[in-house]
Amino acid sequence: MDLPVNPPVQPMLAKAVTGVPDQPADGPVWSYEPKWDGFRALIFRDGDEVVMSSRGGKDLARYFPELVEAARASLPPRVVLDGEVAVARPIGSVNRLDWDALSQRIHPAASRVEKLAQETPAVFIGFDALATGSADLTGEAFDVRRAALLEAAADSGDDRIRVSRVTRDAGEALAWFTEFEGAGLDGVVGKRLDGGYVPGKREMIKVKHKRTADCVVMGYRVHKSGTGLGSMLLGLYDDGELRMVGGSSAFSDARRRELQDLFEPMRTDPDAVAQGEVSRWRTAGSAEWIPIRPELVAEFAYDQMENRRFRHTVKFLRWRPDREPGSCGYDQLEVPLTYDVFDVLEGGTP
């Protein structure tokens, strides 16, 4: 591979801010775009050779052969694009990003990879260009890179290669922050119009959803060291049934021991363990957890829900002795608007 920008390349990153920045009165500084919730990926094409690498430099091409095929068939012969790999599936009347389906695509068996490529095909959503032809675009302003992206991807005619929409209107970006969550997106990203592409540096900004929920502590896992709490398991009531919605695990060693001492006397059965979900990310042993009496309520910070569970790890904030466990239900959670993910892309529904 002999491109103006060759792998490995770390993608440009974003730093978290608390709100969508306004444009200054003397002219726009920011380009805003939706924050996609998938696998960050860089696609390098040099003729028939296609490399698709993750943020950490791992090979993604083997897991998404349909995207390699799409890149080889429809992208310019020499190009480097930055974007996100996602899976969109119908949920109700709209298409929505499906993280669980995307995660299942990372599988060691080639036969399984080929099967899933047919059953849950992925899409590459481009949002920047690093090179095209013989030109290195990393030192160019975003408008130049965006034009190259549109020429490379939006005109490809292949629905597997798409482009994220952008705006310079801060008000519109703020509306996206709320509306697009219904399609499975998790915030807004801002890029400086005059800024170049700086690999591995946090030159962009991101605004993500942050919320809190009061949850019942329904169990815990022992830390992998064998001492102290590894994570506390959280539940919410749904029609009288306590359903697990996620876990919280960011504690100091001293706090882990303290929490295990607190939970140990609350075990429903001294010898009982429950079996959680087993996946390639978690072995059967690590999926085991210890049920406790559902008597403690705490407040946790989270950003998203997906399939009635917390999408990411949640953060413990404080105990809530004033809340009855039975009052901790799904009704306290914000329900995002319904929005079709393809309406977030340039060109709309394929």
Q: How far from chain centre, in Å, is Cα 305? A: 11
Tokens of 158: 């292949």
Rounded to the nearest 5 percent, the helix, strand and coil shares of the chain are 25, 40, 40
In 105-201 the beta strands, taken as DSSP E runs, fall at: 123-132, 135-136, 161-163, 187-192
Q: What is the CA angle 313-318-323, rounded to 5?
A: 105
What torsion, rounded to 10 degrees, do the Cα atoms 14, 280, 102, 37 define?
-20
> Phi and psi for 3 in degrees, rounded to 5?
-110, 165
* 65 exposure class (CB count in 10 Å sphere: 0-12, 13-18, 19+): middle
Task: Please give the positions annotated as active site.
Answer: 35
- Amino acid letter for position 221: R
Q: Is 310 helix (H, G, I), strand (E, B) or coil?
A: strand
How far is CA 325 from each of CA 217, 221, 262, 265, 294, rounded to the nearest angstrom?
9, 20, 17, 18, 7
CA 253 to CA 259: how far, in whole Å? 10
